[in-house]
Each structure stands twice: as C-alpha cells, then as structure tokens.
Amino acid sequence: MAFIDRMIGGDERIIYRSQPHWIYLLQGFLLFSLFTALGYYLFFFINDFVRREVAHGKETELLWYMYQSRIYVFSGCVLLGLAVFFKHFIFYRSTHIAITSDRLIYKTGMFIVDVHESALEEIKGEQVHNGFFGRFLNYGFVHIDCRFVANMDLPAIRKPYEFLHNLHQLTLEIKRGRRSNGNGRGARDRNSDKDDDDGYYRDYDDLDF
C-alpha cells in the first residue's frame, strides 16, 4: 500500500483498503501442481517408451536422444509451472484497492505499475459477480460504472459487499453534503431576494405623490 499512500495528500484520507482474494494464490499453486504432474507423466512415459523399444531390439539414435531429453522435459514443465505461480503471486502482492475520502484508486503491477482512479462523485453504479465458489469463499469481481471516465473492473476481492458498503456510505455522504450546500445557497438566495423586495417597498413608501 506504500504506492497508494504516496498518492494521498492534503486533507484526503484512506477510508477502506482491499486487495485480491487468496483464490489467486490457490489458482497459481494448482496450475504449478498441474504442470509438475504433467512433467512427471512425460518423464516416465518417455522412460517406459524407450525401454520397451530397446527391449524389442530397436536401439536407434533417436531413442537415445529421447531418453536423455526426459529430464529436460520434466524440468521445463516445472519451470513453466513456477512461472505461472509467480505471475499469480506477484499479482496478488502488487494489487491494491483503496477508497479515500475523495476517490477510488485501483493499482496493479510491481515493475510496470498501472493505476486507475475515479472521483467518488463520478461513480453511478456497481455490480458484484460472485460465481459459484465466490459465494462460499466470500470473494467477488466488482464492476464500477463511472460517468465521465472509463469504467473500472476490479479483480476478485475479499469481502466485496463490505467494500461496497463503505463505498456507498461515502458516496451518500457526498450527495448529502452537496444537497445541504444547495439548500443553503437556495436559502441565502431567497433571503437576498426578500431583502431586495423590502428595500424596493421601503423606497417606494418614501416617494411623495
């Protein structure tokens, strides 16, 4: 959150923080396990295939290269699985969402940082997509509909309805403040008009017909 903290200045303050759900770590781990299992399968498949061919008297140079390559196939699958896992891990660690007193900020990326933000006054609607597992694991994808800037699609965040509760509370306070300011200006305008009318009638009464 240090990056978002540096973006905050003046009287602006952070009201609520959120980040992706741990489901991204689980997805990365499952994909790593899948690639590792594939590497094991290919390793023993090549090993057994070459042994059967040699047992039938088919000793060729191609079989020898296949036998030597089985460890590289396994290592390649493991490295690919690690790359996929670290991609999910970096996304989980480098993605942050913050609701401040003035705006909504969505930051992602560790080396190449991408920041989306919208003033709270520009937000006109939200949608939450839980999916099947999201209802049980308490996560959801949040779509933010904005008026004059691009819409914002947040990743699967934890406690999405708590996030929306804080967002709604702030936007409601802003609307109430705008309404009270408008009523105050209207009352001042009416008082000003009344004073002008009183002055007009006072001037009118002073006239000598």
pLDDT tens-digit readout, 165-196 = 999 988 888 878 766 665 555 545 555 555 55
CA dist 185 and 191 (Å) reads 10
CA dist 92 and 56 (Å) reads 52
Mean of the per-residue pLDDT values of the chain: 85
Half-sphere exposure of 166 (CA within 13 A, CB side): 17
Confidence band, pLDDT 50/70/90 cuts, at residue 209: very low
Quick check: 111 pLDDT over 80?
A: yes
- What is the arithmetic mean of pLDDT over 81-90? 96
b (16+ CB within 10 A) / e for 192-204: eeeeeeeeeeeee
Q: Which of 112, 159, 140 is nearest to 17 (CA)?
A: 159
Quick check: 200 pLDDT over 70?
A: no
Quick check: 207 pLDDT over 50?
A: no
- What is the arithmetic mean of pLDDT over 29-39? 97
Q: Note the pLDDT of residue 204.
A: 39
Percent of the chain whose pLDDT exceeds 90: 51
CA dist 69 and 38 (Å) reads 15
Q: Note the pLDDT of residue 10.
A: 80
Confidence band, pLDDT 50/70/90 cuts, at residue 201: very low
- What is the arithmetic mean of pLDDT over 48-61? 82
pTM for this one?
A: 0.77
